[in-house]
Structure 1
Amino acid sequence: MSGKDCGNHGTKRKKVIRRLCSACLVFVILVLFVILLVWLILRPTKPQFTLQDVTVYQFNVTSPNYLTSSIQVTIQSRNPNDRIGIYYDKLDIYATYRDQQITLPTLLLHQAYEDHKDINVWSPFIYGNSVPIAPYLAASLNQDQSSSYILIHVKVYGKLRWKVGTWVSGHYRINVNCPAFIRFGNPASGYTVSAGIKYQLSQPCSTDI
């Protein structure tokens, strides 16, 4: 076989490989375009969360700067989409005070599916035993004591997936922030909340994905 024949054979093989690569690339682009088109048509809306109520069993600050709390919250999630389902994967819930976490993360759910327009309600306990708080929060706590109110934030974080027909998306991070006002008893008694006080809130939460 001549060198010229070998050169032609190699050139033909390269052309075939290029065509296969081009065909694969076009196929991938078409699939991505279809997914994008379906996504734009369906226009997925973020799930809606509402903090319905908060029951405080313990919320005590002890010297020097330790906070012990035991709180039960009722939180509702709603899927507002008409054609898109939502898979929640391992959601955790905890509470913060002025951006400092004051309770341990509690598992809200391991996995759950929320169909179109569905609503789910959970009532987990969140707690922290002698959690050290930053010294600069002492001044803030003094202000809250004088006003007899404290603002905490109940936060949910985890992952979700969108479901359209049989297609399921990859994971997306979800962060939910629910503000909650808690009222103190007698300000002269210090930073304490009487056990078992239930606060009806129906407070909408902000959701970031």
Structure 2
Amino acid sequence: MSVKQCHHHGGGKKKLLKKIGIVFGILCIIVLLIFFLTWAILQPKSPRFVLQDATIYGFNVSAPILLSSNYQVTISSRNPNSKIGIYYDKLDVFATYHNQQITYFTVIQPVYQGHKEVNIWSPFVYGTNVPIAPYNGASLSQDQSNGAIALVIKINGRVRFRVGSFISRRYHIHVTCQAYIPFGNKNSGIAGVVTGVKYQLAQKCSVNV
């Protein structure tokens, strides 16, 4: 005796799965549309950083091409958004010279930045007997004798954005601040680095999120 297969039930399941897939796809499109419309209306902007000043407390190039340096920098961050808050989950500050890192990482503690708020940090950025490339050692010694040094202060970290109760995923943030720091007046006849002097820079930084 043969058993007849019921094609009706198989076709019904396929139609049901198809309807569920269509509904799920429509819901995903609606959610994405709401997200993009909200994002467009709020017009989110990246935070703005300014390197306000720098103070040199130590600078010495020694053989075999080692650098010991100590700076205190003042950095301000402003949230330009009126409806978006920013979580700075992790920020590392360090100095580079000719694309080579010359200090350790200095950690800025996590903080929440509200709408239109400004945060100011004054971290010490330093390194002791940091090995540097020979050509950078010669260039640093020349800068020292000339009375000024062109550093780049960098901040790398992770941020999240908050809109109401919604908090975004983490994004990487990269901040680059050009810092031309004088060592003093080289025409004054004073050799070496003049330490403990705060130099006003007011240099805008580039921000990439």
TM-score, structure 2 length as denominator? Answer: 0.91
Partner of 2:79: 79
Q: 2:50 is paired with a residue of what secondary structure?
A: strand
**Alpha-carbon distance, 1:47 to partner:** 0.3
Quote the Cα distance in structure 1 between the aligned partners of 2:34 and 2:3. Answer: 49
Q: 1:46 is paired with a residue of what secondary structure?
A: coil
Gapped regions of structure 1 (runs ≥ 5): none
Q: Is the CA contact (8 Å cut-off) linking 1:183 and 1:193 kept in structure 2?
A: no
Identity of aligned residues (%): 48
Indicate the RMSD between aligned Cα atoms, in angstroms. Answer: 1.9
Quote the Cα distance in structure 1 between the aligned partners of 2:182 and 2:55. Answer: 11
The amino acid of 1:43's aligned partner reads Q
Deviation string 1:154-195 (CA, Å, 9 cap, x unpaired) is 1111011111111111111100011111212449877x4233
Q: 2:45 is paired with a residue of what secondary structure?
A: coil
Q: Does 1:153 align with 2:152?
A: yes
Quote the Cα distance in structure 2 between the aligned partners of 1:139 and 1:80. Answer: 42
The amino acid of 2:135's aligned partner reads Y
Quote the Cα distance in structure 2 between the aligned partners of 1:33 and 1:168. Answer: 18
Q: Does 1:102 align with 2:120?
A: no
Partner of 1:39: 39
Partner of 2:49: 49
Partner of 2:25: 25
The amino acid of 2:90's aligned partner reads K
**Alpha-carbon distance, 1:128 to partner:** 0.3
Quote the Cα distance in structure 2 between the aligned partners of 1:96 and 1:25. Answer: 49
Q: Is the CA contact (8 Å cut-off) linking 1:86 and 1:114 kept in structure 2?
A: yes
The amino acid of 1:85's aligned partner reads G
Partner of 1:10: 10
Q: Is the CA contact (8 Å cut-off) linking 1:93 and 1:155 kept in structure 2?
A: yes
Partner of 1:127: 126
Partner of 1:200: 200
Q: Is the CA contact (8 Å cut-off) linking 2:106 and 2:124 kept in structure 1?
A: yes
Gapped regions of structure 2 (runs ≥ 5): none
**Alpha-carbon distance, 1:84 to partner:** 1.1
TM-score, structure 1 length as denominator? Answer: 0.91
Q: Is the CA contact (8 Å cut-off) linking 2:144 and 2:183 kept in structure 1?
A: yes
Quote the Cα distance in structure 2 between the aligned partners of 1:204 and 1:31. Answer: 37
Note the 1:137-176 alignment, pairs <5 A.
137-176=136-175
Q: Is the CA contact (8 Å cut-off) linking 2:144 and 2:193 kept in structure 1?
A: no
Q: 1:80 is paired with a residue of what secondary structure?
A: coil
